[in-house]
Structure 1
Amino acid sequence: MDTDARLRALFYTVLQPPDLVLAAADEATLVQQFLQHILGQGVFHAAAVWHQRQPMRQEGAPQPESVVLVSTIRRGGQRWGTLRIWMNAAASADSAVQDLVRWAGAVLGQSFDLWDTRHHLEEEAVRQRYRASHDDLTGLENRAAFLAALPAMLTQAHQDQTLLVVGMLDLDDFKPVNDTHGHGAGDQLLRDWSHRLLTWMHGPHRVARIGGDEFLFVLGGFTQFAAVETFLQDCLTDLTEPVVLPDGESVCVHASVGLTVAPEDGSDPDGLIRHADWALYRSKETKAHRDRVWTWYQPPAAPSRFHAAIPQHLRVHYQPIVDGQTGTVQSLEALVRLQDGARLLSPIQFLPQLSPQELETLTFGVLDHVLRDIQQLDVWGHTPQPLSVALNLEPSMLSPACIDHIGEQVRQARVQPDRITLELLETSDFLSRDLAKSQLQILKARQFQLALDDVGSAYSSLLRIKELPIDTFKLDQAFVRHIPDDPDDLLFVISIQTLARGFQAHFVAEGVETLEILDALQVLGVDRIQGYVFAKPMPLTELLHWLQAFTPQPAGTQPRSLLGAYAAHLAYQFLDRVLPRATGSHGRAEACPLTHYLRDRGFMQTDLAREHDHYHAHWESVTRDAQASAPMKGALLAGMRELAPAAGMHTNAVAHAKP
C-alpha cells in the first residue's frame, strides 16, 4: 500500500463522517456507511464495529492471510467499542497504517458524538414544538395552536356543509377547591377534567386549555342542533362525575359553557371566539337560575330607545373624592347621565336597557368627555395638583380591542394614563376568571389605575383579589350609609381598610352623607372620602365654581361626634385585640377615646358611660374575647342610641357642605 493511497484513504475517511451523520437515519446506517467508505478504497479486506464485546456490523470478508488491527471507539468521552480492520500482514506492520486505523476509530467516535448531538437537538426541537403548542400541565393544545387550527376547521365545515360549534368552558367551583385543598389538588382536578374532555373531543372535535380553569373547544361534523346538545349533555354529565383529589377527598365540579355556531354566526375565527366568550359570560351571570349549563350566543337585539341619544345626549357629572385627613380634593369620579327630553336620567334608568354594543359606545363617549374635561381643568389651573378621574368600566368589555381603543383615546388626548382610574364592580363574575387577570395586567402595564368598586357587596376570594393588580378599594356605599343605624358596621370598614393597606392600595369610602359619618371615618384614618357631605355630582361648569370656593377642612385630633368617639372606641378595641402591647393600657376604659369624649362633654353619669365601663371590665376579664363580650356590646349600643339626641347625633340628617 503506497503512501498516496494511505493519504487518500485517510482524507476520505476524515472528511466523509459529517456528511454521513447528516444523512444517516439511525446508528446502524451510520456504521454501515462508515465501514463501506473504508472498504471503498480497496485497501482493506474487511471492517467491523464491536460494541460491548458483540459485533454490531461487519462489511467484507477477512482473507486467510489477513490480520486484524483494532482501534478504540470513544463515545461521549467514554470507551464505547472497537473498530476492527482486516488487511494483509505485510501492510499491517507499517506504522502509518496503524496510525490510520487509530484515527479511523477516533473519527468514528467523533461521528457518533456528532450524531448524538444532532439526535438530541432534533428531540429538543420536537419537545419545544410540542411545548409551543400544548399546555404543560394538562397536555391539551394551547390557545395559539387552537387559533392556528380554527380557520382550516371552519373551511372544512363549510365544504362539508356541517355545523361548526365553537365553545368556551369555565369551571364554576374551581377556586374553592384550589383555596381549600391547595394548588396540587387544583392541578390534579384540571388534569382529570382535561383527560375526560379528550375522551369526548377527538376526531372532528378539538379542545384546548387557554389558562387557569378555562377551555376552548370546537365540535365538528354535526348537522343538527339537537345532536349537538345531546352530545354536550352526555359530555358534561361525565365531566361532573366526582374527582378524587390527592388527599383522598372526592369533589364534584360543575361548569359554565358559552357557544356559538357557524354558519349561522358568520364571523371570522376571532369573532366566533369573542361570541363564545360573550355567551359564557351570560351563562355565568345566570347560573343561579339557569336550566342548563350552556348558553348560545345571541346576536345583538334591536337598538334600545336610547341608541340615538347616546352620542348627542350623553352628560357627565363629577363628584369630588377628598383626602380623609387633609381635607383636600384628591380626584373626581365621572358619573354618566342621559338627557331624555326634559329629564336627566340616572344610570339605573337606562343602563339595564343597553345592548353590549351600546354600552361600549357609552363608555367610550364618557371617556371622551372625561379627557376633554381634564384638559379644561388643567387650563383652568385652580387645583392644588392635577386631578385624576375615575370612571366605571363594565368588566365584560375587557377585550384586547377595547383596551386598545381606550389606550388610543388617551394617547390622542395627550393625557397621562395614570390620571384615569377604571372602576370595576366586585360583583362581576368576570373578575373570578383567569382572563381578567391578564387583561387587567395589560391595563396596568399601560399605566392606567384600577379600582375595585362596591367592595363588600359580593363574595370575592382574598386569594383572587390578591392576584388582581388593584390600586384602590371602594367600599360599597350601602355599608357607609347605614353606619348611624348600625355603628358596628364600622368594624367592617376597619377590616376592609386593613385589607386595602395590606395590598398597598388606596381605600375610598363612598356614600358619606352626614357629618357624623365623616367624623367616624376620619377618626378611623380612612384614606379618601366621597359623598354628599362634600358635594353632589355636578356638571363641569358647577364643579369649577365648587373647586374655587371649597375650603379644605383637615380631620381633627379628637372625635367631634358621638359616632366618631364610638369609632375611636372600636379602633382602640381592635388594636388592643390584635396588638395588645401597642395600646399599652391592657384595654382599660380610662384609656379609651370614648371615655375622653364622654368626660369632656359631661356625660360620665349617663347609662352609656356606665355600660362602657362594664364593657371594658368584661373585656379585660375574658382576655379580649369579642364573642364573649357580645351581650355587653348590645347594652353599650343601647346606651349610645339613648344618648344620641343629647350628643347631637342625627342619624337621618344629610349635611350638604355648601361652598
Structure 2
Amino acid sequence: WHARHDALTGLYNRAALAERLTHAIFVARQKGLLLAVCMLDLDHFQAVNDAHGNRVGDRLLKETARRLGAFITPQDAVARMGGDEFVLLLGEQADVPAVESRVRVLMQQLAAPYAIDDRVITTTVSVGVAVFPQDDANPDTLLRHADQAMCQAKSFGRNQMHVFDVQLDHAVQTQHTRQTRVARALHAGELVLHYQPKIHLRTGEILGLEALLRWQHPEQGLLGPQHVLPLIEDAELEVELGEWVLRQALTQMRHWTDAGMLWEVSVNISARHFHRPNFVERLKDILHTCPEVSPTRLELEILESAALEDMQYMRHMMQSCQALGVRFALDDFGTGFSSLSYLKSLPAETIKIDQSFVRGILDDEDDLTLVCAIVALAAAFQRHAVAEGVETPEQAARLLELGCERAQGFGIARPMPAHEVLSWARGHTTRHAAKAVQEAARRAAAAPSDHRR
C-alpha cells in the first residue's frame, strides 16, 4: 500500500498515477470517450503555512484530499503530486463542456471554508486541464500540458480553470522552432545585408543606399526579409537582429568611407526595437564602435503605422536620436492614417512614398492623386520625398513632373551585396541616368494622356 499511496493524504502517489493514467487512456480510446487530466494547485498555500504553521497546512492538504476523494466516481482517480499539487483523472467524459462543468463544481466544493482546530481557512484552486484524445499525447506529455494549463490559469488571477489548447500549443511550438532557426542563421552568418541605391532623378546623383535584410539559406538560396521578419515579430530576437543590422551597416559605411564614398545609409527599425527604453543608449554605443562614420550619415526608417502608435513617445525618441546626429524617414507613407498634425508632430526629415502608389501613377487617377498630395505635403513641411518602387524611366519622369526628385527601385538598381556596390557606382553615370529620365519625360509630353495634369 505504501508504495502506491501518498503518506500524508492516502491518495495515489506518482507511481500509481502513472499506471492509472495509462489504463485510463486505453479505456478512453476503446470506448471513444474523453479523458480529462486535471492539475490542481491550491492558491496561496504558502501563505497558510506562513500564517498558521506547517501542521495547519498539512491538515488543509488532508482535508482537500478528503473532498477530492468524495468527489470522484469509479471511473475517476486522484493523486497527490507533492506539495499542494493534485492530479484528478476524469474518465469517460462525453465532451469538453461536460469536463468544464464538473471541474467548476469541484472548484466550488474546494473553495468552501475549512474548519481546522479553532480556525476557519479559506482557499481556492487553480486548475489546468488536458483532454484526451483531442490532445493525443502520451501520459507524461498530458501531465505536462495540464501543468502548463494550470500555470496559465494562475496567470489569469487564480481561482481559474484553463483547458490546454492543442492547436495554439502547436502554433507556439512551430513559431519557436522557426525563431530558433532564424537565431541559428544569424549566429552562423547566413543573414546578410544587401543595399539598394537612392538617386536624384534630375541629376542622377547617388544620394545613399537602403540596407535590406537577406537570408542566404543553405538549401533554399537567397531569401527576402518576408522569410525572416514575420517569424521573429514581437520576440526578443527581433531586437538582437535589429542591433546586428545597425552594426553591419555602420561597419560597411566605414569600409566605403575608406574608399572615399561618403554615402548615407538607411536602416529599417521595428516598432518593438525602437520602443525599447534603452534604445537611445544602445544606439549611442553602436555608433561609438565606428567613430569614422558620422552619425549624420545614418538614417533610421520607421513605418508610418508604428509611428502612429504613441505620437508623444515617438517624438521624444526621435528627438533623442537626432541629438546624436541620426536622421529619420517615415517609411511606406500613405498606408496609415496620415494627417497634417501627425506630420507636423514627428520630426522626420524624409517621407518615403509607398511603392503601391508609385506603381500606378501612369494609369491610376487615385494613385496619382495620392502621390501628388504626399509630394505637396513633404514640400509644405520642408521634408524630402523619396519614391519607392520606381521601375521605369516613365515613372521617374512622371515623379519629376510632380516635384519628387528622389527615388529608388528596381528600375534604378536592384538591392545588391555590399561588395558589388562600388562597381555599380563606378558604372552608374549621373549623365546617363538623368538623360534616360529626360528622354522619358520628352516622350510622355509628346503623347497625350488622360492621366496628365
Q: TM-score if structure 2 supplies the norm length?
A: 0.57
- Which of residues 342, 345, 358 is equivalent to 2:237? 358
- Which of residues 212, 226, 241 is equivalent to 1:348? 226
Alpha-carbon distance between aligned partners in 2 of 1:502 and 1:225, rounded to the nearest angstrom? 60
Where 1:413 maps in the other structure, the secondary structure is coil
Assess, with a 3 A threshold, how the Cα gap between structure 1 residues 380 and 558 changes in structure 2: closer, same or farther. Answer: closer
1:315 maps to 2:220:
no
Where 1:427 maps in the other structure, the secondary structure is helix
8 Å CA contact retained: 1:396, 1:430: no
- Report the equivalent of 1:388: 264
Partner amino acid, structure 2, of 1:441: Q
Where 1:454 maps in the other structure, the secondary structure is strand
| Deviation string, structure 1 residues 358-395 (Cα, Å, up to 9, x no partner) | 111111111111111111101112x4xx1110010012
With a CA cutoff of 8 Å and minimum separation of 6, indicate the structure with the bigger relative contact order.
2
- Which of residues 206, 213, 222 is equivalent to 1:336? 213
1:540 maps to 2:425:
no
Alpha-carbon distance between aligned partners in 2 of 1:528 and 1:336, rounded to the nearest angstrom? 22
- How far off its partner does 1:459 sit? 1.1
- Which of residues 342, 347, 359 is equivalent to 1:469? 347
Alpha-carbon distance between aligned partners in 2 of 1:444 and 1:427, rounded to the nearest angstrom? 20
1:410 maps to 2:287:
yes
Alpha-carbon distance between aligned partners in 1 of 2:385 and 2:411, rounded to the nearest angstrom? 18
- Which of residues 288, 296, 299 is equivalent to 1:421? 299
Partner amino acid, structure 2, of 1:321: K
1:505 maps to 2:399:
no
- Report the equivalent of 1:378: 257
Partner amino acid, structure 2, of 1:379: D
Assess, with a 3 A threshold, how the Cα gap between structure 1 residues 479 and 541 changes in structure 2: closer, same or farther. Answer: same
Partner amino acid, structure 1, of 2:196: Q
| Root-mean-square deviation (Å) | 3.5
Alpha-carbon distance between aligned partners in 2 of 1:406 and 1:558, rounded to the nearest angstrom? 38
- Which of residues 512, 517, 533 is equivalent to 2:395? 517
Partner amino acid, structure 2, of 1:323: H
Q: What stretches of structure 2 of length at least 5 have no aligned partner?
A: 1-43, 49-122, 128-151, 157-174
Partner amino acid, structure 2, of 1:422: L
Alpha-carbon distance between aligned partners in 2 of 1:223 and 1:388, rounded to the nearest angstrom? 62
Q: How many residues align structurally? A: 288
- How far off its partner does 1:225 sit? 9.2
8 Å CA contact retained: 1:314, 1:365: no
8 Å CA contact retained: 1:457, 1:476: yes
1:434 maps to 2:315:
no
Assess, with a 3 A threshold, how the Cα gap between structure 1 residues 223 and 432 changes in structure 2: closer, same or farther. Answer: farther
8 Å CA contact retained: 1:521, 1:564: no
Partner amino acid, structure 1, of 2:282: H
- How far off its partner does 1:332 sit? 0.5
| Deviation string, structure 1 residues 294-318 (Cα, Å, up to 9, x no partner) | xxxxxx9564321211132110000
- Report the equivalent of 1:591: none
- Report the equivalent of 1:570: none
- How far off its partner does 1:433 sit? 4.0
| Deviation string, structure 1 residues 262-301 (Cα, Å, up to 9, x no partner) | x969xxxxxxxxxxxxxxxxxxxxxxxxxxxxxxxxxx95
- How far off its partner does 1:484 sit? 2.8
8 Å CA contact retained: 1:450, 1:470: yes
Alpha-carbon distance between aligned partners in 1 of 2:267 and 2:358, rounded to the nearest angstrom? 21
Alpha-carbon distance between aligned partners in 2 of 1:225 and 1:424, rounded to the nearest angstrom? 43
Alpha-carbon distance between aligned partners in 2 of 1:434 and 1:340, rounded to the nearest angstrom? 40
- Report the equivalent of 2:324: 446
Alignment of 1:293-308 (within 5 A): 303-308=179-184
- Report the equivalent of 2:68: none
- How far off its partner does 1:483 sit? 2.1
8 Å CA contact retained: 1:516, 1:563: no
8 Å CA contact retained: 1:304, 1:353: no
- How far off its partner does 1:430 sit? 5.2
Assess, with a 3 A threshold, how the Cα gap between structure 1 residues 352 and 557 changes in structure 2: closer, same or farther. Answer: closer
Where 1:308 maps in the other structure, the secondary structure is helix
Alpha-carbon distance between aligned partners in 1 of 2:338 and 2:356, rounded to the nearest angstrom? 17
Where 2:181 maps in the other structure, the secondary structure is coil
Where 1:305 maps in the other structure, the secondary structure is helix
1:367 maps to 2:246:
yes
Where 2:182 maps in the other structure, the secondary structure is coil
Alpha-carbon distance between aligned partners in 1 of 2:427 and 2:436, rounded to the nearest angstrom? 25
- How far off its partner does 1:405 sit? 1.1
1:457 maps to 2:328:
no
| Deviation string, structure 1 residues 410-448 (Cα, Å, up to 9, x no partner) | 112112211110001112265444322222221122211
Q: What stretches of structure 1 of length at least 5 have no aligned partner?
A: 1-156, 162-221, 227-260, 266-299, 566-596, 613-635, 641-659
8 Å CA contact retained: 1:325, 1:525: no
- Report the equivalent of 1:53: none
8 Å CA contact retained: 2:192, 2:213: yes
- Which of residues 302, 325, 339 is equivalent to 2:202? 325
- How far off its partner does 1:518 sit? 1.1
Alpha-carbon distance between aligned partners in 2 of 1:328 and 1:480, rounded to the nearest angstrom? 21
Q: TM-score if structure 1 supplies the norm length?
A: 0.40
| Deviation string, structure 1 residues 18-64 (Cα, Å, up to 9, x no partner) | xxxxxxxxxxxxxxxxxxxxxxxxxxxxxxxxxxxxxxxxxxxxxxx
Alpha-carbon distance between aligned partners in 2 of 1:390 and 1:558, rounded to the nearest angstrom? 24
Assess, with a 3 A threshold, how the Cα gap between structure 1 residues 549 and 433 changes in structure 2: closer, same or farther. Answer: same
Alpha-carbon distance between aligned partners in 2 of 1:317 and 1:498, rounded to the nearest angstrom? 31
1:495 maps to 2:405:
no
Alpha-carbon distance between aligned partners in 2 of 1:558 and 1:542, rounded to the nearest angstrom? 24
Alpha-carbon distance between aligned partners in 2 of 1:488 and 1:313, rounded to the nearest angstrom? 41
Alpha-carbon distance between aligned partners in 2 of 1:366 and 1:486, rounded to the nearest angstrom? 36
Alpha-carbon distance between aligned partners in 1 of 2:441 and 2:295, rounded to the nearest angstrom? 42
Where 2:430 maps in the other structure, the secondary structure is coil
- Which of residues 429, 434, 437 is equivalent to 1:551? 429
